[in-house]
Amino acid sequence: MHTLRFPGGILLLVAAALLTLSCSKNPEAAQTSEKTLYTCGMHPQIIRDKPGDCPICGMKLVPLRKSSADANEPAQANRISVEARTIQEMGVRTALVERGPLVKDIRALARIEFNETAVSDVTVRESGWIEKLRVDSVGALVHRGQPLFDFFSPELLVAQKEYLLAIERGADYAAQTVVKLRNVGVSEAQIAALQKTRQARQVVQVESPRDGFVVEKNALEGQMVEKGTMLYRIADLATVWVFADIYESDLPFLKVGQPATVRLAYLPDRTFNGRVTYIYPTVDEKTRAVRVRMEFYNPGYFLKPGMYATATIHAELTPEAVLVPDMAVLRSGERNTVFVALDGGRFDPRTVSLGAGGAGNVYQVLAGLKPGERVVTSGQFLLDSESQLREAVQKMRAPSEMKAAAEPMTAMTPVASKTDAAGRTAWVCPMPEHISIIYDHAGKCPICGMTLVPVSAAKPSAANAQGDH
């Protein structure tokens, strides 16, 4: 049988790998010696026994020290240990797993409108003429009972004279005619003044029915108006309504009375607090959204109708839940993993089951964590690389376990030592990272899929060291 010869450098690497495997089978040596390994955070398959650069991406290799598990704790196959200096270099930060209410923030673009229950129209109940305007501009602030304009109407003058005649006749007649004065728009204060002075007035002052701002004005001096004409619209801005369109997927989280906040673009440092007052019963067919009405107090009148705002509705999903920061969770397909920080620089990778997300970038933990534990929120990607590296090293040192996972045709059996089976041909993977694994047959590397190459497993001689391919 013809044995291929390879350069002495490869044979020396094979011999060193065989020696490493031989030493790793000695429990006493493993317990008494502790070696620092170096790996790449981006390529965990890279393993080196000295510092340097990653041959793939050029990043600095990170030192990782494997230490034996504490005898007082159960063995953890995937638990890793990192030196304190390395933890600082990796920028590892932790956060506490807490128990508290799970609150979901529902955000939407909103529009500020008038409080419809605080808007009044000013009209006249008889035809006549506007003699003089007392409030002549939109935006003016008026108070309840303040005169808006002087109004002359023949019907109002007749009603006043009838009331004065009724007073002279007696209280019964006066009670009947005072109703007519009220019906034509004469206020109670004006009726009391008429009863006191006993003189009918040519013009009657039309007063504001509420405190607020004039948001619409259709009155001009000298204008002739018909009864029922809307001359002023006055809105009280002490409270405003805020409308937002919420997607139907968030409907299960909405309730009347929930707290809400709004923020304005021109006041980024201010937050206004209100509550949900109504959820409309229909869904917009085009946007598939439901209109929600919120009510806010408006001190200083900063919330102006017509403005756009960012509204947030705070929905409490559950009053008590185990909460983990979103930054602590590593998502890889179907599995969610967090690293629990233990004493002595140890980290335990743990699979968790997550529920709904909440405000503050937290998630509800259904299983896998308990309150009081500390989880890694920064640097866990490097810890994950080391965890995967540990798993890969365990597979390298336990070929019998890999045999079951590999294809039947690629079963591998390492040579016991560098002196066994002298003269036999062994096969190794040409990848430097996998050259420590020795096979007794040809085939494919089960790790990277490259074709195995034959080498001599015998102790290299001088001829071999200088041999040709």
Question: d(Cα 61, Cα 37) in Å, to the nearest integer?
Answer: 9
pLDDT digits (tens, 9 = 90+) for 71-126: 344 335 567 777 777 777 777 888 889 898 888 899 999 999 999 999 999 999 99
Q: Cβ(309)–Cβ(261) under 8 Å?
A: no
Separation in Å, CA 146 to CA 7, 186, 230, 315, 452: 107, 14, 17, 44, 99
Separation in Å, CA 346 to CA 343, 372, 454: 6, 17, 41
Question: d(Cα 191, Cα 201) in Å, to the nearest integer?
Answer: 11
Q: Cβ(99)–Cβ(320) under 8 Å?
A: yes
pLDDT digits (tens, 9 = 90+) for 366-400: 888 989 898 888 876 666 665 665 555 555 554 54
Q: Which residue shows structure tokens 């002359």?
A: 152
Separation in Å, CA 461 to CA 12, 99, 354: 11, 67, 60
Residue-range domains of the chain with CATH: 8-87+386-465 (no CATH), 93-103+319-384 (2.40.420.20), 116-235 (2.40.50.100), 243-318 (2.40.30.170)
Question: d(Cα 255, Cα 104) in Å, to the nearest integer?
Answer: 13
∠ CA 53-58-59 to the nearest 5 degrees? 75
Say yes or no to pLDDT of 3 above 50: no
Question: d(Cα 375, Cα 94) in Å, to the nearest integer?
Answer: 5
Q: Specify the pLDDT at position 333.
A: 73
Amino acid, res. 26: N
pLDDT digits (tens, 9 = 90+) for 213-235: 999 999 999 999 999 999 999 99
Q: Specify the pLDDT at position 304.
A: 96
Query: Torsions phi, psi of 146, nearest 5?
Result: -75, 135
